[in-house]
Amino acid sequence: MKLLADVDSILQGVGVYRDRYRGGERLVRSPLTGETIAQVEDANPDSVTEAIGQSEKAFLAWRSLPAPRRGEFVRVLGEELRAAKTELGRLVTIETGKILSEGHGEVQEMIDICDFAVGLSRQLYGLTIASERPHHRMMEQWHPLGPVGIITAFNFPVAVWSWNAALALVCGDPVIWKPSEKTPLTALAVEALVRRAVERFGGAPAGLSTVLIGGREIGEMLVDDPRVPLVSATGSTAMGQIVGRRLARRFARAILELGGNNASIVCPSADLDLALRAIAFAAVGTAGQRCTSLRRLFVHRDTYDALVDRLKQVYATVQIGNPLTSSTVLVGPLIDGVAFHRMQEVLAEARKLGGQVVGGDRFETAPYPAAHYVRPALVEMPGQIGPVLQETFAPILYVMKYSDFDEALALHNAVRQGLSSSIFSTDVHEIEKFLSVAGSDCGIANVNIGPSGAEIGGAFGGEKETGGGREAGSDAWKAYMRRVTSTINFGKDLPLAQGVKFEVG
C-alpha cells in the first residue's frame, strides 16, 4: 500500500488527473515489489490518428515562432523539471527499480538537455558558401522538419524522451511520445509538467507535445504515418530492424538507438583501483539494464588474477534490495520475470561452454516474492563464444584474458553491436590506438572510465547494429531539421556553373 500512496502523491502533485492512471485495462507493476501500482488506458487507433493530426497543425504554428522564443519554452520546462526533480526521480525508481540516485540523475539529464537546448535555440547556424560564379552568393539554412515520433524503452523512461524533445522543440518540431508500456506513469508525469510549462509560457499551440500509451501497435502507427517525417526509436536491434525498414519504405528519417554489447580493455599499466570502481558501476549499476552497461571485460594476463579477485569481492558484498528502503542499496531488481528467466538461460549456456559463474542466482527478498532481484553474475569465459557475442539485458559480466593488445582490440570489435567502449591504461600508445581509426569501432570510446554514464554535451549513439543514430549534444540537432541550400544572384549576368554555355535570344 505504501507504493500506491507514493504513486498517488507524486502523480497528483505534478497534476496528473486520477482517471489517467486508475481504471484502465493496462496494469502497471513496480519491479520493486511486483505489485500493481496503476491501471492505465491505452490509446486507440482513432485517438492516435487524431493526435498526429493535431501535432501536424501545431507544427504550422510552432515553426513560425522565432527559435529563441521556442528556446524560452524549453527553459520554462526545465524550471518545472527542477521543481519536480525529487518526486519525478522517485517515480522513476518506483517504475524501473533503479536506485534513487540514478532516478534523480535521470531527471538531472532532462534538466541538462533543456539547458543545452536553450543555448542551442540561438545557434541553429547555417553556412555562407563561396560561389564559383561572380556576383553570386550561396548559403545553407536549416528549417523545422515536422512532427517527431519518439519511442522510448523502459530502462531510461524519461531521459531519452528529453534528449529528443528538447532539441525537437527548439528546432520547431512538435513531439509525439510513445513510452514503454512498462513505464507509462513517468510519461504521464512529464506530460503534466509540459502542460504546466505551456500554461506559464502562453502561446504554445495545442498538440505541441503528446503522450500515447499502448503497445506495439501504437508505435507502428507512428512509424507508418506519412505526417511524421522523423521517428526516434530506442529498443532492441530486432525492433530497430523492423522500424528502420518501415520508415525507409516511405522515405522517412530514423534515429535508432539499439543494442550494445559493450566492452572494456584493462591493460598492464592500468590503475586497478580506478578500474575496479568504474567496472563495478558499469557492470552492475541499474542491474545491468543500461544500453551502455559493461558486458565484456578483457584483462591482460599480468593483471587478471589481481583484478578478478577484487571484482569477486565486490560482487559478493554489493548490497541488493529495494532502494526505497535503504540508501546503501546499489542493485535493484530486474524489470520483470521475463528478464530473470532470460538471464538464467544465458548463464546455463555459458556454463555448458566452460564458463565459471559466480553469482547470477535469485536474491530472495521475503517481503517481495513477486519481484525479481538477482545477484550480479561474474563469468570467467575461456573465450569470446556463445552468449558472450549477444547482448543480455541483465547484470552479466564476461571476463576473458588476453596477451596481445591487438588481439584484445580485435576481440573487442568482433561483435555486431557498436555502442560504447573503454580502455584502462596509462600507456599513450595503447590509448591513442584505441581512439584511432584502427581502434574501437563504437560510437563512444572512453579512456580510464567505464562505457556507461554519457554526458548530454556529446552526441550519444553507436554504429553497426546499434543503429547509427545520434541524440543529445554536439550537432545531433540537425536530424530534427531540413537543410536548404540557396544561391542568390545579385548581378546583371547569368553565368552558369561549371562553365556551361546556354545562350538564347
Q: Within this chain, do residues 267 and 137 fall inside the same structural domain, yes or no?
A: no
Q: Please state the rounded mean pLDDT for residues 282-299.
A: 97
pLDDT digits (tens, 9 = 90+) for 319-358: 999 999 999 999 999 999 999 999 999 999 999 999 999 9
Give me the chain's average pLDDT, please.
Answer: 97
- Please give the grid coordinates belonging to residue 381: 569465459
Q: Is residue 16 part of a domain?
A: no
Q: Give DSSP secondary structure letters for 246-267.
A: HHHHTT-EEEEE----EEEEE-
- Cα separations (Å) of 361 from 358, 452, 495? 9, 24, 76
Helix 67-83 to helix 100-120 angle (10° resolution) is: 160
50 a catalytic residue: no
Q: Within this chain, do residues 251 and 350 fall inside the same structural domain, yes or no?
A: no
Rounded distance, CA 233 to CA 177, Å? Answer: 10
Q: Is the pLDDT of residue 505 over 80?
A: no
Q: Within this chain, do residues 231 and 104 fall inside the same structural domain, yes or no?
A: yes
Q: Within this chain, do residues 322 and 446 fall inside the same structural domain, yes or no?
A: yes
Q: Within this chain, do residues 437 and 474 fall inside the same structural domain, yes or no?
A: no
CB neighbour list of residue 499: distance below 8 Å, 6 or more residues apart: none
Structural domain of residue 418, as residue ranges?
Answer: 262-455
pLDDT digits (tens, 9 = 90+) for 437-466: 999 999 999 999 999 988 999 999 999 999
Q: Please state the rounded mean pLDDT for residues 202-212.
A: 96
pLDDT digits (tens, 9 = 90+) for 48-82: 999 999 999 999 999 999 999 999 999 999 999 99
Q: Within this chain, do residues 274 and 420 fall inside the same structural domain, yes or no?
A: yes
- Please give the grid coordinates belonging to residue 406: 591487438
- pLDDT band of residue 179 (cuts 50, 70, 90) is very high
Q: Within this chain, do residues 231 and 368 fall inside the same structural domain, yes or no?
A: no
Rounded distance, CA 87 to CA 70, Å? Answer: 26
Q: Within this chain, do residues 299 and 356 fall inside the same structural domain, yes or no?
A: yes
Q: Is residue 6 part of a domain?
A: no
Q: Within this chain, do residues 332 and 282 fall inside the same structural domain, yes or no?
A: yes
pLDDT digits (tens, 9 = 90+) for 79-137: 999 999 999 999 999 999 999 999 999 999 999 999 999 999 999 999 999 999 999 99
* pLDDT value at residue 1: 59
The whole-angstrom distance between residue 97's C-alpha and the CA centroid of its chain comes to: 17
Rounded distance, CA 297 to CA 292, Å? Answer: 13
- pLDDT band of residue 384 (cuts 50, 70, 90) is very high
Q: What is the CATH number of the domain that holds 400?
A: 3.40.309.10
Q: Is residue 329 part of a domain?
A: yes
Q: Please state the rounded mean pLDDT for residues 297-315.
A: 98
**Active site residue: 257, 391, 430, 465, which one?**
257
pLDDT digits (tens, 9 = 90+) for 3-38: 999 999 999 999 999 999 999 999 999 999 999 999
Q: Where are the beta strands (DSSP E) in 272-424?
A: 294-300, 356-358, 377-380, 396-402, 417-418, 420-424
Q: Within this chain, do residues 274 and 238 fall inside the same structural domain, yes or no?
A: no
Q: Within this chain, do residues 172 and 78 fall inside the same structural domain, yes or no?
A: yes
Quote the number of domains for the chain. 2
Q: Within this chain, do residues 196 and 153 fall inside the same structural domain, yes or no?
A: yes
Alpha-helix runs per DSSP H in 134-179: 159-171
